A = this chain, B = another copy of it.
Amino acid sequence: MRSGSIDRKAQILKESTRLFSDAGYDKVTIKQIADACSITEPALYRHYASKEAIYDSVLDAIEVRLGTDDLFTALEKHSEIQPFLEEFAIHIIHYFTKNEDIYRLLLFSALRGHSKAKKVYQMIRGSYVKFLIMRLDRFFEEGKSIKKNNEVTARCFTGMVFDCALSTTLWKGFQGKAYKPEDVVANNVPIYARGLVTADEK
Residue A143 interfacial (CB < 8 Å) = no
Given known contacts A174-B118, A195-B190, A195-B193, A159 and B156 CB-to-CB distance under 8 angstroms: no
Q: Is the CB of B110 within 8 A of A175?
A: no
Nearest CB on B from A72, distance (A): 19
Residue A7 interfacial (CB < 8 Å) = no
Residue A131 interfacial (CB < 8 Å) = no
Residue A164 interfacial (CB < 8 Å) = yes
Residue A135 interfacial (CB < 8 Å) = no
Q: Is the CB of B170 within 8 A of A159?
A: no
Residue A12 interfacial (CB < 8 Å) = no
- Chain A interface residue bracket vs B: 35 or more
Copies of this chain assembled into the complex:
2
Q: Is the CB of A159 within 8 A of B167?
A: yes
Nearest CB on B from A45, distance (A): 23
Report B-chain residues with C-beta under 8 Å of the C-beta of A27.
Answer: 26, 112
A32-40, A54-62, A63-71, A145-153 - interface stretch: A145-153
Q: Is the CB of A111 within 8 A of B121?
A: no
What residue of chain B has the Cβ atom nearest to residue A122's Cβ? B174
Nearest CB on B from A116, distance (A): 12
Nearest CB on B from A4, distance (A): 39
Residue A77 interfacial (CB < 8 Å) = no
Q: Is the CB of B191 within 8 A of A153?
A: yes
Residue A23 interfacial (CB < 8 Å) = yes
Residue A104 interfacial (CB < 8 Å) = yes
